[in-house]
Structure 1
Amino acid sequence: MNDVQIRSAERALSVGMWLIVFGAMLYSVLTVTPLMAAHTPNAWDWTAPILPLVVDAAVVIVVRLDSALARLGGRGGRWPIVLRWMTGGMTLALNVGDSALLKDMVGVAVHGVAPLLLIVTAETGLAYRRAIAAAVTALEARQRDEREAARKAAAERVEAADRRAREQRDHEAQVAREQREHEARLAREQAEREERARREEREHAEARERQERAERERREQEREQQQREHERREREAAERREHERRQRIERERRERQERTERAERDRAALLAAGPATEKQPEERARATARAAFEAGLPVRTAAELTGWSTGWVSSRYQELRDNPTPAPRALEGVAP
Structure 2
Amino acid sequence: MDEQTLRQAERVLSVGTWLIVAGAIVFSVLTVTPLVRSVTPDGWKWTAPILPIVVDAAVVIVVRLDAALARVGGRAGRWPVLLRWMTGLMTLGLNCAGSALKEDWVGVAVHAVAPLLLIVSSEAGLAYRKALAAAFARRKAEQAAEQAARERREREREQSERDREQQRIDAEQARAREEREHAARMAREEREHQARLAREHDEREREREERQREHERREREQSERERERDRQRREEEARERDRREAAERTRRQQAEHARREEADRRRRALLAAGPAEEKQDEDIARETVAAAHAAGLSTRQAAELCGWSLGWVTTRYQELRQAAGQAEREGEPAGVTA
Q: TM-score, normalised by structure 1?
A: 0.50
Q: Which residue of 2 aligns with 1:125?
A: 125
Q: Which residue of 2 aligns with 1:110?
A: 110
Q: Which runs of 5+ in 2 are unaligned?
A: 183-338
| Aligned-pair Cα RMSD in Å | 2.5
Q: Which residue of 1 aligns with 2:68?
A: 68
The residue correspondences of 1:1-336 to structure 2 (distance < 5 A) are 1-170=1-170
> Whole-Å Cα distance in 2 between the matches of residues 54 and 90 of structure 1?
11
Deviation at 1:4, TM superposition (A): 2.2
- Provide the aligned length of Structure 1 versus Structure 2: 184
Q: Quick one: structure 1 residues 41 and 166, their matched pair in 2 at CA, closer, same or farther if it must change by over 3 Å?
A: closer
Q: Which has the larger Rg?
A: 2
Q: Quick one: structure 1 residues 162 and 43, their matched pair in 2 at CA, closer, same or farther if it must change by over 3 Å?
A: closer
Range that drifts further, 107-116 or 164-173: 164-173
Q: Quick one: structure 1 residues 160 and 111, their matched pair in 2 at CA, closer, same or farther if it must change by over 3 Å?
A: same
Deviation at 1:164, TM superposition (A): 2.6
AA aligned opposite 1:53: I
> Whole-Å Cα distance in 2 between the matches of residues 179 and 62 of structure 1?
82
Deviations 1:184-231 (CA, angstroms, capped at 9, x unpaired): xxxxxxxxxxxxxxxxxxxxxxxxxxxxxxxxxxxxxxxxxxxxxxxx
Q: Quick one: structure 1 residues 60 and 165, their matched pair in 2 at CA, closer, same or farther if it must change by over 3 Å?
A: closer
Deviations 1:102-141 (CA, angstroms, capped at 9, x unpaired): 1111111111000000000111111111111111122122
Question: What's the secondary structure of 2:43's corresponding residue?
Answer: helix
Question: What's the secondary structure of 1:43's corresponding residue?
Answer: coil
Deviation at 1:180, TM superposition (A): 11
> Whole-Å Cα distance in 2 between the matches of residues 148 and 174 of structure 1?
38
Q: Which runs of 5+ in 1 are unaligned?
A: 183-336
> Whole-Å Cα distance in 2 between the matches of residues 58 and 170 of structure 1?
75
Q: What percentage of aligned pairs have identical amino acids?
A: 61
Q: Quick one: structure 1 residues 31 and 172, their matched pair in 2 at CA, closer, same or farther if it must change by over 3 Å?
A: closer
Q: TM-score, normalised by structure 2?
A: 0.50
Greater length-normalized contact order (CA 8 Å, ≥ 6 residues apart): 1
Q: Which residue of 2 aligns with 1:278?
A: none
Deviation at 1:163, TM superposition (A): 2.4
Q: Quick one: structure 1 residues 181 and 11, their matched pair in 2 at CA, closer, same or farther if it must change by over 3 Å?
A: closer
